[in-house]
A and B are shown apart, each in its own frame.
Chain A
Amino acid sequence: MTEPLIRIQDIHKSFAKVEVLSGISMDVAKGEVVCVIGPSGSGKSTLLRCVNALVPIDKGSIVVDGQEVHDPKLDKLALRRKVGMVFQQYNLFPHKTALENVMMAPVHVLKQDKKEVEARARGLIKKVRLEGKESSYPGELSGGQQQRVAIARSLAMQPEVMLFDEVTAALDPETVKEVLLAIRELAEEGMTCMIVTHEMGFAREIAGHVYFTDRGVIVEHGPPKEFFSGAKDPRTRQFLSQIL
């Protein structure tokens, strides 16, 4: 078997003496889609934020595409251009139009040619079905539209992995679909994805592997079919019965 794109080994993380991650390990192969589910406060967001070095870890190792994230000499830019992240609250830049939001990082950070970036950005906006909204400001877009701009903005950096942190949690049910559709298309094209979600139906359909976390550890994991129908751990079962 080839080396996984992301290898997380026994990571620990505490915030002010409270341990949030207590030894999490997982491998994500190139092109694989994994979903992470679990109760609120179980450390799902923290796990994702460790992968792109937004949060430093206390112990353990995360290797992304051969690069040790925990290394103090880490080239953060090199890591972050490989790892895209989409947040629950979209976090678009409110003073820039949709198109500018998508174009900014490649132009400012990667110093790519503006014309090329613009062509790519327009393509991405089309891809997330927002044609015609290029010159709208985030404040003029619905939550679902903003979230799709955020996805396009991440994709503009041409990442190898995408991290999605409860990207539909702030949306109303109708707009959830359009965002999930955008993610599904991405996954079908072979993008490696780590998805934290509460949408169990979506996880069951899209994931190659599902992880259930609780209190900083992975309680149970497996392919979606087995995971959702034959969960063994009582904690997992309780969680699933509450949510399904």
Chain B
Amino acid sequence: MDFSPLWDWFRWLNGATGIKLTIFYDSFDRWRFFYGFLTSVRLQATCLALSVVVGVVGAWLQGARSRILRGALQGYIQFFRNTPPLVQLYFFYFALGYVLSVEGDGGLRQTLVSSFAWAVICLSLYAGAFNIEIFRAGIEAVPKETVEAAEALGYSRLGAYVYIVLPLAFRISLPALNNNLVNLVKTTTISYAIAVPEMLYVANQIWSDEVNVPEMMNVLLIAYVSLVGVVVLVMNKWERALRVPGYVS
């Protein structure tokens, strides 16, 4: 498809009004911004999925027999819930990142883990810690008689968790999960601080080069509203798909 009339219109807009949306008519900026947008989406999607996995597995492990395991889990949750995510990110990137680096050519240290990967790890663990607590509340709301019925039918603890407890707990947890995931999408912008080339980072580069801060600010806001909107839409759809007639969770 040929978009050049659209790009030309934005060029005309700039001439006529001074509104400088280079991301449309300047092919270099357009490419940079598009790449940043994709990086943001990739980061968000990965963190969303991983944080839910962390939540599901963590909530399961909270019921583990081993005291040490439960204690370690509690430590992890408290650490991530009670410190600012930006500080966590710095800690991962600068402290752990330094430890996990090797001497490269010419005395420069080369990191083994990319800044994108650090952002994924840190943000997934951050949102995952909240998800564990969210799922735990949901699990506790599942009547123990229901679990007992599953046991009486021969289900193991894991089997009952996978087929009965989790599906019910999920429905109960969805509103809280919704909030946390929207929060996660917004929090991914902090990876700007460790130079992950996501949308905020490239927008900053663009406005430094083009001196169009107000325009780029508006673009960013609209882009984030749309991304969060997609998450909310999908979650609502999901909530409706999971709704069970006659069952109020």
Contacts and interface: CB of A to CB of B under 8 A. Distances in A.
Contacts of B151: 54, 80
A109 B159 CA distance: 8
Contact of A139 (B143, B148, B152, B244): B244
B3 interface: no
A87 B164 CA distance: 17
Interface string A70-114: 000000110011011101010111110000000011001110000
Of B152, B242, B246, most buried by chain A (CB within 10 Å of CB) is B152
A140 B143 CA distance: 19
Interface residues of B, number: 24
Interface of B is mostly: helix
B146 interface: yes
Contact of B163 (A81, A108, A138): A108
Contact of A87 (B145, B242, B247, B248): B145
Contact of B154 (A80, A92, A94, A150): A80
A109 B148 contact: no
B64 to A, nearest CB: 19
A157 B171 contact: no
A95 B154 contact: no
Of A108, A154, A157, most buried by chain B (CB within 10 Å of CB) is A108
Given A54-B148, A89-B145, A109-B159, A94 B247 contact: yes
B164 to A, nearest CB: 6
Contact of B152 (A85, A138, A141): A85
Contact of B145 (A52, A91, A104, A138): A91
A4 to B, nearest CB: 22
Contacts of A77: 154, 156
Given A84-B152, A93-B164, A95-B244, 5 more contacts: A93-B146, A108-B163, A109-B153, A138-B246, A139-B246
Interface of B: 143, 145-146, 148-156, 159, 163-164, 167-168, 171, 242, 244-248
Interface of A: 52, 54, 76-77, 80-81, 83-85, 87, 89, 91-95, 104-105, 108-110, 136-141, 150, 153-154, 157
